[in-house]
Structure formats: structure tokens, C-alpha cells
Amino acid sequence: MEEYYYELTINTKSSQDLFLELLEQLTQGAVEIEENRLISRSEENLEDVEFGILEFAKALGIKCETTLVKKRNEDWIKKYQESVKAIEVGKFFVRPSWVEEKDGKIDIIINPALSFGSGHHETTNSCLEAISKYIKSEDEVVDVGCGSGILSIAAAKLGAKVDICDTDEVCIDSSKSNFVLNNTKYNNAWVGSASKSNKEYDFVIANIVADVLVMIAKELKKCLKDGATLVLSGILDKHLNRVLKKFEDLEKIEVIQKNDWVTLVLKKGV
């Protein structure tokens, strides 16, 4: 990769298609298209291309302004990868695929994506702590609002049999892909909430937001076997009492707080 590259910007309010066609012929490369603006980038000096564009505009009698800038080239992929850190939580080591696994820890690979959990947010982090501490091998688990699938993958890696659900189909697809990436299996998956399951579980995880937890409290409790554990997360501490009141018929086992975020570990009596 060269140390520098050149960026040519063409501003024109008319005949953009003509300028685009000419630019593609002159550069043999991809062109970024914006309203009234075309941008071409190359590691070769684009001075001759700029001259050709201006002469073309002059011949057509079209007003056209160009800017040619020399910029330092950077390996953006490498910079991005260096910015994404692995994280150790309880028994788990959560990492992107380009980071090596850690000896003595249960390996979870989650490549970061927009809006999906990668273990760094306080709520996901606290849930991983609870899973690490309370889930037993062969437990039947449902992850309600599974997102990236990180929590259900963690449960599965502890030997649990997991179901996943989310109201967003994109999250279900992401979770399924991450299960494959981690060479791990889930039992059932569906688009929707816990109400679509008639099953009772040993362990229920719901990392959503306080308002939704209050709204679906009845269906979450319906999923619990006698003696089952319920982990609720995504709760800002200012909403904690409202959530606790809705689940006051369950035993409070632990409250995990990280900054303004709270995770509750509750238990249904036998």
C-alpha cells in the first residue's frame, strides 16, 4: 500500500451522469456518488484526470468545480481491528475472530456489529457474570431478546440446552450465524417473544429494557419451572424499583450493578 492517495472531488449541478461516465473511463475505478458531487480516489496522481474533467465541462459550457487533495493512506481495517478489544467475564473470554483465544477460559467469538452485543456493555457483561455463576450443565434455557446470541452461546458452552427468540428477525439471523461461528448448537429459534413458547425452563434470560420487562413480566414468569432462575437486565437504576415490584413474587438472589445499569437474578419458589 502506498503512503499517500489522491482524492478528486467534482462539484456540478447538472449532467452528473455525463461526468460520471467520463470519470469511470478515465480512472477505471469506483466512484463515490453524492448529490451534485462525485468523488474518485486513487494512489496515482489524478491531475490529468482533473484537467480532462475541466476541459470536458468547458466544451459543454457547464459550470464545474474540482478539488484535488493528497491524503495519507492508512490501513483502516487494521486500525478498526486494533480498536475492538476482547473482554474477560467470569468463565468466559469474548473476542472478535482476529484475537487469539485465552487459555483457561471458555471461548466465545463475537465479531462486533451495529446494535448487537459483544460483551462490553454493562448489561451484557453483567448477564455473562450471572450465567457464569448460576447456569448448570443440562439446564433448559431460553434467551428472550437474544440480539447477537452472545448470552445463549455462553449458556450452551456451559452445557445448557438453549432456545432463542427475538422480535427482530435480523437478530435471529445474527444469533444463528454466531452459533455456527462458535461451533455451538441451539434447540429452537423463533421471531417473537417468550409468549410463543409453551415450555417451562430452568433458566430464563431477558436482557431488554425496563419498560418491556414490565410489560412481558407475566409471560416471562410463565416460562419458569419451579425453582428456576430468571435473569433480568437492561434496567437503568432509576427504573429498578418499578421492575422489582412487577416481579415481587420471586425471590431476589442477587443485584449486579455496573455504573447506571442493573441486572437482577431472581428465583421462583418450589
**253 and 169 share a domain?**
yes
Range of the domain at 53: 4-73
- The model's pLDDT over 234-268, given as tens digits with 9 standing for 90+, comes to 999 999 999 999 999 999 999 999 989 999 999 99
Q: Which three cell numbers stand for residue 200?
A: 417451562
Looking at the structure, do residues 197 and 69 belong to the same domain, yes or no? no
pTM equals: 0.72
- How many other C-beta atoms can be found within 10 angstroms of the C-beta atom of residue 251? 13
> Is pLDDT above 90 for 230?
yes
* Rounded Cα–Cα distance for residues 226 and 220 (Å): 13
Q: Where are the alpha helices (DSSP H) in 145-257?
A: 150-157, 169-181, 210-215, 217-222, 240-246
Same-domain status, 130 and 263:
yes
* Domains identified in the chain, total number: 2
The answer to whether residues 228 and 247 touch, using CB atoms and an 8 Å cutoff, is no
Say if residue 140 is in the same domain as residue 247.
yes
Q: Give 7's contacts (C-beta < 8 A, 6+ positions apart).
A: 39, 40, 41, 68, 69, 70, 71
Whether residues 58 and 162 share a domain: the answer is no
* First vs last C-alpha separation in the chain: 65
pLDDT digits over 8-66, tens only? 999 988 888 888 888 888 887 678 888 888 998 888 899 999 999 999 999 988 889 99
> Which pLDDT tens digit goes with each residue over 155-189?
999 999 999 999 999 899 999 999 999 999 999 99
Per-residue pLDDT of 112-125, as tens digits, reads 754 345 567 889 99
The last residue of one of the domains, among 47, 73, 99, is: 73
Give yes or no: residues 41 and 126 share one domain. no
